[in-house]
Amino acid sequence: MSGIDALTAALGGSLRGKRILVRSDLNVPLDGTTITDDGRIRASAPTIAALAEAGARVVVTAHLGRPKGAVDPAYSLAPVAARLGEVLGRPVAFATDTVGESAQQVVAGLGDGDVAVLENVRFNAGETSKDDAERGAFADQLAALADGFVSDGFGVVHRKQASVYDVAARLPHAMGQLVAAEITVLRRLTVDPERPYVVVLGGSKVSDKLGVIDNLLGKADKLLIGGGMVFTFLAAQGHEVGKSLLESDQLEVCRSYLARAAESGVEILLPTDIVVDTAFPSGERAPQPQVVAADAIPADALGLDIGPESGAAFAAALADAKTVFWNGPMGVFEVDAFAGGTRAVAQALTAVPGLSVVGGGDSAAAVRQLGFAESAFGHISTGGGASLEYLEGKELPGISILEG
């Protein structure tokens, strides 16, 4: 029995006329009020549509950005609600607050099969409060709007927040289609993965990936490392990294990882060439990319992408993989001059004969921005942070409350 089937049974055998609160992840990038990547909206739509088609009165709650517990019009979900309506092909009502008069009126006005979106849940300080009582009081207000709860915001299940964790403790609950699919894929990455198992890590900071590297050194066959985090590894090997991003407090940790990998037979593949410039890209100056050896970065240069030789080597290392997890771009992919490494990795993933997983966040944004079809990958996660914490072996509060 699926999660929603179990919820249906718990609510008397039918969702028709029942108010179902859905926690979605609609945290999309905005340029003003223009959505620049609607991937999370499209990924959230199937669960919402299924509930509406079952006759439920669907009340969607979500966050956008980090408004710090206060109303900030720059983070309004109004444009997101409008786009959700277009994706669903049905009207979507919008409440201008989260649990106040507007929310109560909008929910009361829903008919069977109708959908509404509440304003940004993080406009209320109780959502992210570390105080259980404050968070619980806000969860009580959310729960009062509904008869049942569906958790479908994978990008926030690693957070112990009111609309993710506490509401589930107050209402009959179920896992939505998106969260169920994400967990199924992540289990394939952690429980007896098909081999060779290759993990590609990028992004800016080693410190963001310490836990996942530590855990995967005992599970993966190869770790390919690019992005800004690679310069701390290169410096740990004694190489000059110029003005590149460097976390000097992590040098010893990187040395220990390299030593552990050598001892355990896990191959860590670092770039052999780097695309550098003397300044970070900006609108005031055209990029001046130069390819240099990874062990010969000029003192006045900063690395902004892995080089073409490294891109080819990473692609070759992925060619026979049966399982791949990729999190973090190889460079500043938003600028074409520094997008080659990320493009090479993405292209290689499309040809992987087994399971290829793009681990959310900037990696998912890069895939779409660089023009790759989402169907070319086995799975594109909607939650970078949640994916990483799962792979670190951490408990995800928003999952444990559903399964407990």
Q: Annotated active-site positions, please?
A: 40, 205, 361, 385
Task: Name residue, tokens 């997008």.
Answer: 339
Q: Which of 352, 343, 344, 355 has the alpha carbon at shortest distance from 381?
A: 355
285 marked ligand binding residue? no
209 marked ligand binding residue? yes
136 marked ligand binding residue? no
In this structure, which amino acid lies at residue 90? R
242 marked ligand binding residue? no
83 marked ligand binding residue? no
27 marked ligand binding residue? yes
142 marked ligand binding residue? no
Task: Name residue, tokens 């779409």.
Answer: 368
363 marked ligand binding residue? yes
Which ranges of 226-360 does DSSP label H, i.e. alpha helix? 230-236, 251-264, 308-318, 340-350
188 marked ligand binding residue? no
111 marked ligand binding residue? no
SS (H, E, C) 146-170: CCEEEEECHHHCCCCCHHHHHHHHC
Long-range contact set of residues 106-114: C-beta below 8 Å, sequence gap at least 24 = 107/19, 107/57, 107/59, 107/145, 107/146, 110/19, 110/57, 110/58, 110/59, 111/57, 112/16, 112/17, 112/55, 112/56, 112/57, 113/52, 113/53, 113/55, 113/56, 113/57, 114/52, 114/57, 114/58
219 marked ligand binding residue? no
26 marked ligand binding residue? yes
What residue numbers does the annotated binding site cover?
25-27, 40, 63-66, 122, 159, 209, 303, 334, 360-363
What residue numbers does the annotated binding site for ATP cover?
209, 303, 334, 360-363
What residue numbers does the annotated binding site for substrate cover?
25-27, 40, 63-66, 122, 159
